Structure 1
């Protein structure tokens, strides 16, 4: 089955860590800041052949293992049901979480409970600073993880021998991208399906591709011709005032349905980084490369063109009760050629009559070796062990929980979402191999030193192209704040 092929490929991706090259010092020879590809060789029956972790045996005598997660809401539908469920209900993903927890609970004689919090960082601060050992793990969005870590409330995971981040059930991209120096305070892996949901992708309307006699996007990806220039060419000439009222609004047709974060998603997809790492794994700013500036010039040419795209920043969309439904409705009504979203949002297209396909972000040009996928930090989950926890117990359970998730939650996620809801054709499943092979996290978004993480989003929102002047205004502050962070991490070593 295709699903087994996807799982096997992802297992191998987890074995290979993407390596990002760092920029040299000023006046040094230019250094390529694009990501190196992960190996994606197919392995037969991979999940069954990978040995379990080498962990101590333990009987925790019915201990209540408490995990803090984020509360879902209207503006944050990604908040959690991923760590515990109330009961079996016949839904494959729900029941896989129950099965995972049952195995962990039986093997270590614990009871896993989930505590929902509207603000995981505040919950951590209140309980940990009070010295209360009430929570064993915190699992929430990466912004909350970063806040907990910078308050010195999290254990450096690299100091815990029971955690082995070389194991394939951990997301090696997150290990690489979210560490600073020798410190690793939070990470993600198979315990969480939200990092897959947080992958930035494109959907396309297959009927419109045919109606406008456009190139097959799947073939463009396969032949390395799926580039920003080709994308820009395809969306030109699609938009039209369908109802003839003389204004472009939610009732008309567009080449691109998007939001401000799409500029970032495509920036990363083109092999650029806001923050890279130096040879000692400390962050350096690389948003301001010639390639980065050239990429933004290409992207903003259509992201700022309201005759080509419709966005959540447009007044006729932003004033709707549900902005995101307003954008989705344009696509499901066959009035959008391409639609930039995170994978989670694809479920909103479930009832669309016209077939659609999934695509990775376009490359910068045909010379770029790999396709890259930005993982949205607002949606992806990280894991932290608080300093008040029993680190021996917490690390054993975290490692084992993630290990068991590899053979329960991960395949269930694909079965429930990719086979059943996301992919409507075998080509989309093939594209998912590409989408999930080279994912990117970026510390610049989390720390936002001097405003560098939000610079691109802000420029897109303002419909401006003044990247150079904006960068010059914040560069000194950004570098200064970055250096303070590095010094703080070095002081902890």
Structure 2
């Protein structure tokens, strides 16, 4: 997948020179010229600027568009919890790190080589999707948006966004400018989020926050040694990293400093794992269990009551509500009451063996200041029968690109730009991000690099979570809140509402 490819670029191509792509064509109308040659990437050291391609080797024929795309994103510098959400699409000024430098170079390359610039609309009132709807209703210019999967997907039934497959076929003699089968486009997200073979949102190397929101299991290497636990790295490599083994390890680590375990970081209680409600979905995805699957017509159907899903869910929930060993933040207060910050602080203090979270955790000041030697491994499998480790992303943050129907004059240039940006992202931006994650964060061993490859290699998605049919994203939270593993009864209570929502969506998408 794209992270493995990026790592190979970093290791193999340090000495490679950049090969020609194209010269700037100053004609106001786009004209086809020769294609560029294949390229290799040169990645500088962390302190160096990214080498700008003389000619990037992009497959796209030379065209000069002389246009500016209006692009809305939900984030800005002030409210972003991670640097890259602010500048992952377009950056005009080096912000002092290797990743922003790479995005700056992509921005300059797109403008100088193809005559395409981008005017960003940051953090529009009421959210980026509402802004797209407002533009459609008010005939305001808007060409592209970047937003969370959970924000975009539920609104697709309204018809405000194009199907990429349909509009792409209108250009380049029917072949289109988007090569959607290339691995710089996230193939699994297209497979899992498409509806009736229609693709309304994309992610991949054009973005960075899809990687930042990828879930993994972080662990305290010193505590693992202290309690005589086999190296989690070895366990993963041997194929034995499962939910049952995780629960067993958690049971080996517990200590109350007072009469009972408390959710106060300063008390320094010891936990086998600290966790929170969204982790349940991520555990299920790690076990290969989505709430919906799709039939041969690419239409969703419920599978919560399939026996395999029931068995795995009962195992996961039983572990998460085992309060003697697992610290479940939501049992101590609402999600926005500060209990999640306490969770992170406990792990940063060295008081928990395991903590599942997205890569964004590494940006936390608590983690940056921590003296804990942190390791990273994939989410556990359901059992040893499961063949591959799997991961997923937080749909509240997973960034997707969508093109609103307000884009008419710039539609072809937009598709062309998206392809160029995704291609360039794989060549030059993603490798810098990968280096940042591998070398500039808390991982101090070579095993972590191999684990990151596993984590990013098989990232899958649950359509039910993004489209959120009748609030399905809360299904497992209801089990956890009731401290029950009775998944069948909980599902029976909501089955009709879920099915009606899915049926309505199917009717809409098949009739559009």
2:160 matches 1:149 = no
| CA distance 1:307–1:181, change in 2 (3 Å) | same
1:110 CA drift (Å): 2.4
2:63 matches 1:58 = yes
Q: In the alignment, is the contact (CA less than 8 A) between 1:450 and 1:475 conserved in 2?
A: no
Instruction: Give 2:192's aligned residue.
Output: 177
| CA distance 1:385–1:418, change in 2 (3 Å) | same
Instruction: Give 1:275's aligned residue.
Output: 292
- Structure 1 residue runs of 5 or longer lacking an equivalent are 11-44
Q: In the alignment, is the contact (CA less than 8 A) between 2:332 and 2:339 conserved in 1?
A: no
1:56 CA drift (Å): 4.7
1:488 CA drift (Å): 1.2
Partners of 2:224 and 2:114 in 1: CA distance: 54
Instruction: Give 1:331's aligned residue.
Output: 347
Instruction: Pick from 340, 353, 359 the counterpart of residue 343 of structure 1.
Output: 359
Instruction: Give 2:263's aligned residue.
Output: 249
2:72 matches 1:68 = yes
2:123 matches 1:117 = yes
1:5 CA drift (Å): 6.8
Counting matched residue pairs gives: 451
Cα RMSD (Å)? 2.4
Instruction: Pick from 98, 122, 140 the counterpart of residue 92 of structure 1.
Output: 98
Instruction: Give 1:210's aligned residue.
Output: 225
| CA distance 1:384–1:52, change in 2 (3 Å) | farther
Partners of 2:388 and 2:333 in 1: CA distance: 37
| CA distance 1:487–1:422, change in 2 (3 Å) | farther
1:148 CA drift (Å): 4.5
Q: In the alignment, is the contact (CA less than 8 A) between 2:6 and 2:430 conserved in 1?
A: no
| CA distance 1:106–1:46, change in 2 (3 Å) | closer
Partners of 2:396 and 2:72 in 1: CA distance: 17
How do 1:23-422 and structure 2 match up within 5 A? 54-61=59-66, 63-72=67-76, 77-78=81-82, 79-118=85-124, 119-132=127-140, 134-159=141-166, 160=168, 161-242=176-257, 244-250=258-264, 251=267, 252-315=269-332, 322-348=338-364, 349-389=367-407, 390-422=410-442
Instruction: Give 1:19's aligned residue.
Output: none
1:151 CA drift (Å): 1.9
1:296 CA drift (Å): 1.4
Q: In the alignment, is the contact (CA less than 8 A) between 2:319 and 2:326 conserved in 1?
A: yes
Instruction: Give 1:31's aligned residue.
Output: none
1:315 CA drift (Å): 2.5
Partners of 1:254 and 1:190 in 2: CA distance: 37
| CA distance 1:225–1:212, change in 2 (3 Å) | same
Secondary structure in structure 2 of the residue aligned to 1:113? strand
Instruction: Give 2:48's aligned residue.
Output: none
Q: In the alignment, is the contact (CA less than 8 A) between 1:347 and 1:422 conserved in 2?
A: no
Partners of 2:511 and 2:354 in 1: CA distance: 48
Could you report, residue by residue, the CA deviation over 1:222-266 in whole angstroms, capped at 9, with x for unpaired residues? Answer: 111101111110000311112x24443322111111001111111
Instruction: Give 1:472's aligned residue.
Output: 492
1:419 CA drift (Å): 1.5
1:340 CA drift (Å): 1.0
1:96 CA drift (Å): 0.7
